[in-house]
Amino acid sequence: MTLDAIVSPRLFRGSREGASANNAVDNFLFVPSKSYRFEGIKSLMRITTNTLRLLLLVLGIVSEMLVVAQAAEIVRVEAVTSLSTSVLGSTVIPYREVTLSAQVPGAVKFVSGEAGSGFNQGEVIVRIDESQLTAKRNAVVAQVAIAQAAVQNSQAQYTRELISPRSKDIGAMPGFGLPAMFDLAMVRPFADSMLGNYDSDMGRYSDLMSSATGVSQAQSNLQQVMSQLQEIDAALVNTKSVAPFEGIVLEKLVEVGDTVQPGQPLIKFGYVKYKRLQADVPSGLVSNLRVGMIIPAKLDSKTTMMVKLSQIYPIADPSRHTVTVKFDLPVDAVAAPGMYAEVYLPETQAGDAKIVVIPKTALLRGRSLPSVLVVKNDNTSELRLVRLGAEQENGKIEVVSGLSADERVIDKPPATASSGWMPHAE
């Protein structure tokens, strides 16, 4: 087989039909044959891919180091006024909460819903048996009818006395007509002439007063039985415990069939669309608080939020020397009544106490103990361990020991930095 047969122009990339053998040989120097060409391309691609991956990895590491080095800077340690706080435990409570108690004795006849059931204002939640009160009411209604009849009779007697006085009616008393005539004809004239003290008008006045007194007594009796009726009607109303506002049942304290007495709790009811925190604050911290203050709080040691101080009780607990303070939670706060929460209240500082703070980003990452790179006077850095305190505002943290004010530290150092490392800007 000749060389021209082996080196065919159709076997090579870039060759054309009718190309010379020399051109074919030149192409052969780069790609000997079709099968060899494909294998060579695959090997070259594998080598190139691995090389590119390694190159990109190196470039990424270098660029990250350059970015970190450029982001790192030297900052001074600050001394600021202490913002120390006291952490107090508190409890989530409904915005409004009431306890519905029994007003009348009796057996529980009806309980609507369970704990968590919602009610609108005016809906009946608990009902006490009212059969005994209904019977008493019927008896009093009968007494009212009797008293009303007595009033009508007394008023009729008074009217009769006004129109036809008994003092001038000789037949006023049945069976005493003849004695009355003798009294008018003989006794009264003789008394008038001999004693001069008989006055028929006085007798008429006495009869009128007697009739008027009868009317007053009858009206008083009617008023008394009407008051008894109103008392029973009020007791019948009190057999029903209704929702005083829109809310839910927080706790059900009775069941159907229970016998209750006046004052016994039946239901705990609350409005929970808005919620509050309630804390017992030591009296020494109350002077630092004002209604409307915004302070941080933490729910169940997880969710941190800002709450608004809404109420400070005017009196303190004499046994514990604490004052009840309430805080409004945000509307979207995920909390349930009874949950534990912590509030951070400001403390009073004696004088102008100062604390040392640094940016939290100045701490070296990945270290078992908190440490920073301190820049010395000769513009070299040294690794130094520090003891940290409470976190402060604006992304800073308190340093209890290990640093002093006006020292210089490296902010945002890379995790691999150690003593002697300095930002490229330096």
- Residues 160 and 186 occupy one common structural domain: yes
Q: Of 346, 367, 400, at which residue does a domain stop?
A: 346
- C-beta of residue 381 within 8 angstroms of C-beta of residue 364: no
49 vs 3 pLDDT, higher one:
49
DSSP, collapsed to helix, strand or coil, labels residue 295 as strand
**Any domain includes 266:** no
Alpha-carbon gap, residue 165 to 187, rounded angstroms: 20
Alpha-carbon gap, residue 112 to 258, rounded angstroms: 14
Domain that holds residue 280: 271-346
- Taking residues 398-411, what's their average pLDDT? 91
78 vs 425 pLDDT, higher one:
78
- Residues 12 and 52 occupy one common structural domain: yes
Alpha-carbon gap, residue 205 to 210, rounded angstroms: 9
Q: Round the average pLDDT of the chain to a whole number and report it.
A: 78
Q: State residue 152's pLDDT score.
A: 87
pLDDT reading at 147 higher than 70: yes
Alpha-carbon 308 to chain mean position: 11
pTM: 0.50
Residues 6 or more apart whose CB falls under 8 angstroms from that of 364 comprise 371, 372, 373, 383, 413, 415, 417
- Residues 168 and 218 occupy one common structural domain: yes
**Any domain includes 22:** yes
Per-residue pLDDT tens digits for 309-335: 999 999 999 888 899 999 999 998 888
- pLDDT class of 211 with cuts at 50, 70, 90: confident
- pLDDT class of 181 with cuts at 50, 70, 90: low
**Any domain includes 247:** no
The CA-CA-CA angle for residues 220, 222, 228, to 5°, reads 105
Alpha-carbon gap, residue 316 to 324, rounded angstroms: 7
CATH code of the domain covering residue 393: 2.40.420.20
- Residues 169 and 226 occupy one common structural domain: yes
Give me the residues paired with residue 73 across strands.
Answer: 411
Residues 6 or more apart whose CB falls under 8 angstroms from that of 226 comprise 144, 147
- pLDDT class of 97 with cuts at 50, 70, 90: very high
Per-residue pLDDT tens digits for 98-118: 999 999 999 999 998 888 899
Per-residue pLDDT tens digits for 22-81: 444 344 344 444 444 445 555 555 556 666 667 666 565 555 554 444 578 999 999 887
Residues 6 or more apart whose CB falls under 8 angstroms from that of 351 comprise none
11 vs 420 pLDDT, higher one:
420
80 vs 10 pLDDT, higher one:
80
Alpha-carbon gap, residue 366 to 364, rounded angstroms: 7
pLDDT reading at 1 higher than 70: no
Q: Into how many domains does the chain fold?
A: 4
Q: Which residues of 53-91 are buried (b: 16+ CB within 10 A; e: fewer)?
A: eeeeeeeeeeeeeeebbeebebeebbeeebbbbeebebe
**Any domain includes 331:** yes
pLDDT reading at 282 higher than 50: yes
DSSP, collapsed to helix, strand or coil, labels residue 14 as coil
- Residues 385 and 335 occupy one common structural domain: no
